[in-house]
Amino acid sequence: MANTFPRWSNTLPLKLLVCFLFVGAGVAGAVNYYFTQKYTRVGYMPSQPIPFSHKIHVGQLGMDCRYCHSFVEQSGHANVPASSTCWNCHQHVKTNSPYIAQIRESVETGKPLEWVKVHNTPDYAYFNHSVHVTSGVSCVSCHGKINEMPVVFHDQSQSMGWCLECHRAPENHLRPMDKVTQLDWTAKSEGKDQQEMGQKLKDAWHIEPPVNCAGCHR
Ligand code: HEC
Ligand code: HEC
Ligand code: HEC
Ligand code: HEC
Ligand code: HEC
């Protein structure tokens, strides 16, 4: 009978306790990190290698997003432009600016400018950029008024709840395809009601965004 419980079992409760404490601390830390990150994410505005202004290039010069973000309609991941895109203009414009000198150097050496990423969806959630852009969801719904930003910042939380809020009622956001990159456009500006117009588009295009877990966690 003496060997029913092996010797190590005496220390098992202690080991379990220690183990739980560590896991517990880990979970608490993760939760803390996660919520802190989500909370502070809105407004996140990292400094960039060159003070590139969307307010000047889009707001004042009237450039379309797709001139620089050339793959937004084709690719699952959006792209930032290569320096050669900037060089199309800046080999002639503001050539005496020290920032433009940085662009020239990048074009000549082939070393890309190291733009700091602002938005980031974690790997465990599936997000395809072009699906949204080609379903009539405007950049402004997810990134805010980029055309007014001298420096890009995180305008929307882009949390899971935020994704779901739109997936449950996409009619609040859908707009005609040719207005997707027109950030100042609203249904109202054409005397229409957003929900009514959105519902029509939703029906016509058979829009049915996933709301089940496996739709986004594949
Ligand atoms: C002249 C080129 C140019 C045009 C036009 C342009 N962008 Fe950008 N965009 C950039 C560059 C360069 C960056 C990276 C540096 C930065 O974040 O400012 C960027 C960054 C961004 C980011 C942040 C990306 C990240 O790191 O998460 C968003 C969002 C964005 N642009 C949206 C837009 C939208 C919407 C439009 C049209 C209304 C637009 N851009 C037009 C050049 C451009
Ligand atoms: C369609 C032409 C065009 C393209 C493409 C373009 N720019 Fe510009 N950019 C301009 C013009 C015009 C100005 C000057 C605006 C003003 O000051 O009135 C300017 C101003 C600037 C300035 C301010 C310079 C200073 O010292 O005042 C920076 C920095 C800049 N651009 C960076 C970029 C970057 C980076 C890209 C590529 C992502 C880019 N530009 C693409 C036309 C362009
Ligand atoms: C449904 C929401 C949604 C719409 C609509 C949307 N974006 Fe995004 N965008 C995101 C999310 C989420 C990310 C981060 C994705 C990631 O980390 O893979 C992102 C990332 C980006 C990036 C960063 C790419 C990189 O890797 O640095 C750029 C640039 C961008 N978007 C531009 C645009 C432009 C321009 C439009 C309109 C034509 C647009 N987005 C429309 C949600 C959206
Ligand atoms: C402003 C509205 C809006 C927001 C915000 C939004 N979506 Fe969507 N999503 C849509 C629409 C519209 C579709 C297209 C559905 C269709 O065609 O039936 C879609 C489709 C999808 C699909 C299915 C298509 C595919 O790529 O396989 C996935 C997955 C998805 N979204 C993930 C996300 C995630 C993750 C987020 C948050 C980071 C997000 N969405 C935020 C509107 C939105
Ligand atoms: C529309 C897309 C979408 C759907 C549907 C979805 N998720 Fe998520 N989920 C996300 C995104 C995006 C994140 C990352 C959020 C962030 O970075 O803030 C996430 C994060 C999470 C996380 C990490 C912690 C948290 O609370 O954010 C868990 C756990 C999770 N999802 C579980 C689920 C479960 C369970 C379901 C089904 C009931 C579900 N998700 C449905 C997009 C989705």
Distance set, CA 23 to CA 11, 36, 137, 143, 205 (Å): 18, 20, 41, 36, 47
Condensed to tens digits (0 to 9), the pLDDT of residues 175-207 reads 999 999 999 999 999 999 999 999 999 999 999
62 CB-near residues (< 8 Å, 6+ apart): none
Q: Distance between CA 141 and CA 72 in Å, rounded?
A: 15
111-147 pLDDT, tens digit per residue, is 999 999 999 999 999 999 999 999 999 999 999 999 9
- Residue 69 Cα to ligand 1 midpoint, Å, equals 7
CA 67 from chain center: how many Å?
Answer: 19
* Ligand 2 first shell, C-beta below 6 A: 50-52, 56-57, 61, 63, 68, 81, 85-86, 88-90, 93-94, 97, 99, 103
Cα–Cα dist 69/75, whole Å = 10
Residue 29 has pLDDT above 50, yes or no: no
Q: For residue 81, how many C-alpha atoms fall within 13 Å in the half-sphere facing its CB? A: 17
- Name the amino acid, one letter, at 76: G
Of 47, 50, 54, 56, the one to substitute when testing ligand 2's pocket (max ligand atoms within 8 A of C-beta) is 56
Q: Which one, of 75, 173, 80, lies nearest residue 130 by Cα?
A: 75
